[in-house]
Amino acid sequence: MFSFLTTLFSALSISVIAAYFSIIGLATIFPGAKGSIIIMGIVLELGKIITILWLHRNWSKTKWLIKSYFLFAVFVLMGITSLGIFGFLSKSHIEHQNSANNELALIENIETNIIKEESFIVQYEKNIEDLKNNSENSGSKYSNEITREENKIENLSKKLKEDISIETDRIKNLNDRKIIIDKEMDDLKKSAGGIF
């Protein structure tokens, strides 16, 4: 009895989970009629289970023409379920790819900002060098400007260090998220059914 119950529970669990993935996947493939697709998916999954149960109970009493028709219908319904699961997995893959692309674009944007800040620092350092060279000729006329420029550079350097620290933490967090998503995708690919 225990073996029968575990087999029944296992079969129903697989059927329900496959039906859920299939219905969500079909609704993803055909987004224009989401409600209709969900209703159709539920009815098709129930029809498949009922047909298999009917065939199991009436196999010896049924003519081969009806058996072959019902078997063909079950195989077609299994194909529709597989198509829905493929749609669900494709949706997951596309969402993963989009999030990875968004994170890469964000990282590129951060790196561009860092390069810009570094070029500002180089420009200010060049201005200070020019002012120092001119101050040797002009005396103390430029000492206030030099001090001001050095203060700007110091402030920019502090801001750049803070920005780099913040952006480095963000890049690390994004890379950690990407590693987790990639690991989940690899686990999905290595699972019994693979990605499909």
For residue 5, name the pLDDT band (cuts at 50, 70, 90).
Answer: confident
* Spatial distance between the Cα atoms of 79 and 70, rounded to a whole number of angstroms: 14
Contact 121, 160 (CB under 8 A): yes
Question: Own/partner pairs for 25-28, CB < 8 Å, 24+ apart?
Answer: 25/83, 25/84, 25/85, 25/86, 25/87, 25/88, 25/89, 25/90, 25/91, 26/80, 26/83, 26/84, 26/87, 28/87, 28/88, 28/90, 28/91
pLDDT value at residue 136: 64
* Spatial distance between the Cα atoms of 34 and 42, rounded to a whole number of angstroms: 12
Q: Which residue has the higher pLDDT, 189 or 179?
A: 179
DSSP structure class, residue 63: -
pLDDT value at residue 142: 58
**In the chain, domain spans:** 2-190
pLDDT value at residue 192: 61
For residue 29, name the pLDDT band (cuts at 50, 70, 90).
Answer: confident
Q: Which residue has the higher pLDDT, 141 or 20?
A: 20
Distances (CA, A) of 1 to 5, 6, 8, 53, 62: 6, 9, 10, 19, 28
pLDDT value at residue 154: 86
Among positive and negative, which fits the CA dihedral 130, 131, 133, 138?
A: positive
Among positive and negative, which fits the CA dihedral 130, 132, 137, 142?
A: positive
Which of 81, 95, 101, 75 is closest to 196 using CA atoms?
81
List of residues 6+ apart from 116 with CB closer than 8 A:
none
pLDDT value at residue 72: 93
Average pLDDT, the chain: 80
| Per-residue pLDDT reduced to its tens digit, 165-176 | 888 888 888 888
Cα 63 → chain centroid = 50
Instruction: Report pTM.
Output: 0.48
**pLDDT at 27 exceeding the cut of 60:** yes
Over range 5-19, report the average pLDDT: 81
| Per-residue pLDDT reduced to its tens digit, 65-84 | 988 998 999 899 888 888 88
